[in-house]
A = this chain, B = another copy of it.
Amino acid sequence: MLYESLDKQNYRSYTAIMNKKDIRKNEIIGSSINLMYLRGYNGTSVKDITDAAAIPKGSFYNYFEDKEHYAVDAIHYYRSIIVKERFQVFENRSLSPLDRIKEFYDLSILKLKEREIPLGCFVGNITQEMGENSVLISEAASMFHSEITNLIYLALVEAADCNELNSPADLEKLAGFIVSSWQGTLLMLKVTADRSVLDDFICILNGVILK
């Protein structure tokens, strides 16, 4: 599993409030999410998922209405377990508001660089492929993107209030732009041999945007 060290701890606290069926559901997603992560929604069949989770194909439907609902649950799993720790950076009051934003992306890059294959952002990937094709997936993805945009927006407002930021921009638009830029950077990572696009993102974020 790619996220083993990070996830065991998060997984334990998350599952403490879940019922047995939900726990099993998350175990199935945990064993199979990397397939959809790498191959995309249409590139992953229910059979692929059940093979990865080592369960009979039929039992998939005990946990998920169909593949579309699996994808929606996988988005929630991604948010609640895989990137949970990164989101918590915004609660860290020992960091300045801008440093919280920088730390969020520094941590994201650290995670990406740890892996041999840069899988990008699960939600970004599925947004691109399915955003226009599934209302259910689109809504779940939109909630994810809105949450991070809002956290960045609040940090930007705090930074402006304490004069850490002197940007002439509308801060709501600036927050959206940062989130979009990051997703675009992950997209570019898919066709470049080296990972310098990640460092370039940080360079422009820190040197131009968060000024």
| 9-residue interface stretch from A81-89, A104-112, A164-172 | A164-172
Q: Mark A93-133, 1 if CB is under 8 A from B, else 0.
A: 00000000000000000000000011110001101110111
Chain B residues whose CB sits within 8 angstroms of the CB of A118 once the complex forms = 132
5 contacts between A and B (CB under 8 A): A43-B129, A131-B187, A138-B190, A169-B208, A180-B201
Q: Is the contact region of chain A dominated by helix, strand, or loop, or is it mixed?
A: helix
Given contacts A168-B207, A190-B138, A207-B168, contact A184 B179 (CB under 8 A): yes
Check B133 against A174 for contact (C-beta < 8 Å).
no
A145 near B208 with CB under 8 A, answer no
Measured CA separation A168–B211 after assembly (Å): 11
Copies in the complex: 2
Contacts A176-B200, A180-B181, A185-B180 hold; do A191 and B40 have CB atoms under 8 A apart?
A: no
Query: Residues of B contacting A133 with CB < 8 Å?
Result: 38-40, 43
A37–B3 Cα distance when bound, in Å, is 33
Scan residues 163-211 of chain A and give those whose CB is less than 8 A from a CB of chain B.
167-170, 173-174, 176-177, 179-185, 187-188, 190-192, 197, 200-201, 203-204, 207-209
CA–CA, A104 to B11, complex, Å? 46
A41, A118, A128, A169, most chain B CB atoms within 10 A:
A128
Residues of B within 8 A of A190 (CB): 127-128, 131-132, 138
Chain B, residue nearest A42 (CB): B42
